[in-house]
A and B are shown apart, each in its own frame.
Chain A
Amino acid sequence: MIKPALINKNSGKHGATALTGVIGALLFFTTFFFAISVGSVGFSFSDTLRVLSNYLLGVGDTSDIPENLITIIINVRLPRVILAALVGAALSLSGAAMQGLLKNPLADGSTLGITSGGALGAVISIATGFNLPFFPNSGLILMSILFSFLSLLLILTLTYKIDYNLSNQTIILTGVIFSMLASSITSLIVSLSGNNLKQVVFWTMGSFSGRGWSHVALMMPFFLITATPLLCLSRELDAFSLGEEQAKYIGVSTKRVKLIILILVSVLIGVSVAVSGTIGFVGLVIPHITRFITGPNHKKLLPFSVLFGASFLMATDLLSRTVLSPAELPIGVVTSLIGALLFIYIFYSKTRAKG
């Protein structure tokens, strides 16, 4: 009696996960092709597919497509779309991890002010010209990661001091204040160093404009070496999302795991900021939607956040460069608009649920 029911239930669950996976993958690839094909110069899907398969796999013939158009796909669109996907994946993954770690559904790089801290680091490195020998852009990335980590530590320490339970209000308030402080210093430094206003907009609203393969090459290794271990920490994040004390009682080395997760998250956010400026709310929106679909179990939540986050940012980047074409909207405008609305919704429904 019991056995068949059990088997049915399990296979049903697996089926659901597999289906979500297929839909997620479809969404990802559709967005990917759309984002590459659509723009100021449009391509048909079949042309895009032919150019990509010729470039990546060396199959097919593309001699009928003008050379300059192929260059647009390969050297302009493709790296930009890949970079958007990487940043989207990194921001959502870090958001999902932080929400579990802090047991707080509103935690995210932008709501906590970590992205603004990272941007401040990046701007300082540009203004001072700090760089390691032989590694171009290393100063930018290192300072961005370092400042992200320091911001995270500072904000968490402050919040713990004020309110040990890390309640929504305290953590968000601290984050907002820190974020305003960091972005105003950022704007000040950019203005003083004689850069134009466009730079300020880049660091406060983010953009993928003019990003190429060098940025992908910069981002990819950092993403891989931090996302992989983070995906392996799903059991620990499940435990943390029940509360830190509880996590310790069931055997999680909370101090060590927490430090590791905070470092991984800082690297993900720091690198994202270094290549694309501060793009707000992705880490809040995507894990929240993903949780609706997969449930809060991190074993599913984390990989699907990666998938959906990548698709989301490719799509928003597409929007930001086509809506006002030929002008480009900063991508942060689009994500913040969607994010802020969702933030209000979550905050409102949570507060109301509490009574």
Chain B
Amino acid sequence: MLEVDSLSVKIGERKIVDNVSFVLKEHDILIVMGPNGAGKTTLFKAIMGIIPHEGKALLDKSDIKTFSTRELAKKIGVLTQKHQPRFAHSVYDVVSLGRYAYQKGLFASLDKNDKKKIDDALKLTGIYDIKNQSVLTLSGGELQRTFLAQLFAQEPKILILDEPTNHLDLQYQIAIFDIIREWVKQDNRAVMAAVHDINTAYSYGNRAILMNEGKVHVQGSVEQVLDREHLKAVYKVDVVDWMQSLLRYWDLQ
């Protein structure tokens, strides 16, 4: 569905993203991993055409640059890492903006279908009960779920998630990835997610890219990519050793 071909982003003399190529196929949950500053967020921005870049990103075989912003929003939805609202919009208002790409005309208001999609998204992410609350009063997790709901209301075919569960409590981390795993099963859908937690990556991803200093260190199936040697090379610690020692705690329970 999405094909990225030798994408590079240069800021000054430094290459933030260096010659990255990969293919995102139908039903994929592609995990992007790598230490801070590996270029994950910049890669996503480059794909979406937010920042200047070299190389190409093809969506359904046509260059992403040829899509209008509105058309692109119907195909790809992005959940960014940080949200800092400054105004007291209600949760419902923020989620309803997900329908922007489908509204036509100057005085377009939400029709029945739009409202149903918004309600579904609010329920799916468990924030229906706080839909009239101001976003300024939300916890980090509630805010993240509000924007996730906006993303679902937007009904894209591809989700690009930049650390989607960063601020979330454990039960919502699990809930969100369960939702995403179900979501991606339908035809013509795929997910690409930057994830910090290796266990999440293992349990939900089917393919993975390990990035380091802007380059693809290795890519392939999750099992191939997240192996001891690769993780050691990128993170500079024996991640597997560490994980095993951490998880041994539970054996004693």
A235 touches B94 (CB 8 A): no
Task: In the complex, identify which listed stretch (B22-30, B77-85, B203-211, B233-241) lies at the interface while the others stay far away.
Answer: B77-85
CB nearest to A232 among chain B residues: B106
> In the complex, A9→B92 CA distance in Å?
13
Residues of chain A lying within 8 A (CB to CB) of residue B68: 253
Task: Pick the residue among A9, A245, A251 that contacts B70 (CB under 8 A).
Answer: A251
Tell me which of A242, A249, A254 has the highest count of chain B C-beta atoms within 10 A of its own C-beta.
Answer: A249
Contact B84 A241, beta carbon cutoff 8 Å:
no
Assign chain B's interface to a size class. 20 to 34
- Max count, chain B CB within 10 A of own CB: residue among A105, A252, A254: A252
With known contacts A238-B97, A239-B100, A254–B90 Cβ distance under 8 A: no
Identify B89's interface contact among A9, A241, A249, A253, CB under 8 A.
Answer: A241
Tell me, in angstroms, the Cα distance from A248 to B45 when the chains sit together: 11
Q: Residue-by-residue, is B61-101 near A (CB-CB < 8 Å gives 1, otherwise 0)?
A: 00000001110111001101001111111100110011011
CA distance A88 to B137 in the complex (A): 32
Interface size class of A (residues with CB under 8 A): 20 to 34
Looking across the interface, which residue of chain B has its beta carbon closest to that of A233? B106
Judge if A246 is at the interface, Cβ distance under 8 Å.
Answer: yes
Is residue B200 within 8 Å, beta carbon to beta carbon, of the partner chain? no
With a cutoff of 8 Å between Cβ atoms, the chain B residues found around residue A241 in the complex are: 86-87, 89
A71 at the binding interface (Cβ < 8 Å): no
B130 contacts the other chain (CB 8 A):
no
Q: Given A232-B106, A235-B103, A245-B80, are A250 and B97 neighbors across the interface (CB < 8 Å)?
A: yes
- Which residues of B are found within 8 Å of A215, using beta-carbon distances? none
Q: Is the CB of B89 within 8 A of A296?
A: yes
- For B250, the chain A residues whose CB sits under 8 A away are none
CB A199 to nearest CB in B, in angstroms, measures 39
Give the complex CA separation of A47 and B94 in angstroms.
Answer: 50
In chain A, what residue has the closest Cβ to B132? A9
A297–B50 Cα distance when bound, in Å, is: 26
Do B73 and A250 touch (CB < 8 A)?
yes
Residue in A closest to B77 when the chains form the complex, CB atoms: A249
Note all chain A residues with C-beta closer than 8 A to B212: none
B150 within 8 A of A: yes
Q: In the bound complex, how far is the Cα of B68 from the Cα of A245, in angstroms?
A: 15
B154 within 8 A of A: yes
29 contacts between A and B (CB under 8 A): A100-B87, A232-B107, A235-B97, A235-B103, A235-B108, A238-B89, A238-B97, A241-B89, A242-B94, A243-B83, A245-B45, A246-B83, A248-B48, A248-B50, A248-B69, A249-B73, A249-B77, A250-B98, A250-B150, A251-B73, A251-B100, A252-B69, A291-B87, A291-B88, A295-B89, A295-B90, A296-B87, A296-B88, A297-B89
Given contacts A242-B85, A250-B101, 12 further A-B contacts (CB under 8 A): A232-B107, A238-B89, A238-B93, A239-B100, A242-B89, A248-B48, A250-B100, A251-B69, A251-B73, A253-B68, A253-B69, A295-B88
